[in-house]
Amino acid sequence: MTAAITAITMPKWGLTMTEGKVVQWLRPAGAAFAAGDELLEIETSKITNVVEAEAAGTLLRVVAAEGSTLPIGGLLAVIGPADASVAEIETFVAGFVVAESAGEAAEAAEAPAPRMLDVAGIRLRYLELGSGDAASVLLLHGFGADLNSWMFTQPALAEGRRVLALDLPGHGGSSRDVGNGDAEALGQAVEGFLTVLDAGPVHLVGHSMGGAIAASLAARRPDLVRTLTLIAPAGLGPEINTAFIDGFVRASRRKDAVEVLQMLVHDPSVVSRAMVEDVLRFKRLDGVAAALDTIARAWFAGGRQTLDLTAEMAALAMPVQVIWGCDDRIIPVAHADNLAPAVQVHVLEAAGHLPHMEKAGEVNRLIRRFIDT
């Protein structure tokens, strides 16, 4: 019986996460749950996310109360069969603290670090997780973001395959040299990255501006792309929330950054203070403001999207799926109507422009199922 009792521990999402805060338990102690059910909400250094059950069971005991902050690997709750005795639960909890502390420290010490790669004179930062014989996955973030925006996605996909998350030029730890900042300039950097690493063909996943870059690359170099997953992609219609673009480029104070970042999500409360501070810290780095301004002028001149990929998308031969939040306030979900009937479209409820962060479990399942089949 005791062997069937297991723990829910504080997960590690992303490179910089060292602890998390329990926001809310979504199941009470004693409740049964099925695989995939949402058990609790955790506030991370970026955004609030849910912990889902990996298998069916019963929430035997909640150890971490709402509002408590735990380090990575800390014991959140005990799960197992409904008929587990109090003594068995007590024994498990007592043994967990001693057994896990050393293991979690060793795991943290071995956590992969980002690497740098020179591509035609441009330094690109990327993070690599996983290994295996299956085709690799390449993740491309959106405007103003970085590889950490895939903190919930990359680990979930890195089972039996290599998953690469790239900082686009002008973003994260990559070079501030963005050329003229348009899709061709940024796409050439991505193409060069795949060529230098000899990583293709890959399953290409792109969000927002990164989605447009991914689609453009798939049209230009279909030999490098096995499947294409686009999340709230740019390039499918002229409308764009210019208040977000202009606000993000200009934001230098916390109040302004909060207002801008809250546009990205369905529930503004999930935007954490740390996320806001990370954005402001990044924008203060040398060369960032100029790079973002160059990209914004190339992509969104006159308050409209300058790139139209609908014809190229219709001509793609590889499998394509699009995932969108129904409450997207940055790029209208109605742009999905401009896609060819062969494209699989998934519109997620209670999600804004960041469904891969707001509805991580659902998005990860869609991506895994798509690339596995």
Question: For the sheet containing 75-80, what is the strand order?
Answer: 6-9, 75-80, 57-62, 32-33
The answer to whether residues 127 and 154 touch, using CB atoms and an 8 Å cutoff, is yes
**CATH number at 2-109:** 2.40.50.100
Mean pLDDT of the 4-28 span: 87
Query: Mind listing the pLDDT tens digit for each residue in 222-272?
Result: 999 999 999 999 999 999 999 999 999 999 999 999 999 999 999 998 888
CA 225 to CA 360: how far, in whole Å?
A: 23
Q: Report pLDDT for 124.
A: 98
Distance (Å, whole) CA 194 – CA 204: 11
pLDDT value at position 190?
97
Is 83 exposed, middle or buried, given 0-12, 13-18 or 19+ CB atoms closer than 10 A?
Answer: exposed
The 10s digit of each residue's pLDDT in 98-119 is 444 444 444 544 568 999 999 9
3-state DSSP assignment of residue 172: coil
Residue 85 has pLDDT above 80, yes or no: yes
How far apart (Å, rounded) are the C-alpha atoms in residues 294 and 108?
Answer: 38
Please answer whether residues 54 and 35 qualify as being in contact, where contact means their C-beta atoms are separated by less than 8 angstroms: yes
Q: pLDDT band at 168, cuts 50/70/90?
A: very high
Every domain of the chain with CATH number 2.40.50.100 lies at 2-109
Q: What count of other Cβ atoms lies within 10 Å of the Cβ of residue 102? A: 9
Q: What is the mean pLDDT of the chain?
A: 91
Q: What CATH architecture does domain 115-372 belong to?
A: 3-Layer(aba) Sandwich (3.40)
Nearest by Cα to 48 from 28, 72, 23: 23
329: confidence class by pLDDT, cuts 50, 70, 90: very high
pLDDT tens by residue, 294-315: 999 999 999 999 999 999 999 9
Question: Does 189 have pLDDT greater than 60?
Answer: yes
CATH 3.40.50.1820 region(s) of the chain? 115-372
Q: Stretch 31-49: mean pLDDT, rounded? A: 88
User: Regarding predicted confidence, which is higher, 356 or 16?
Assistant: 356
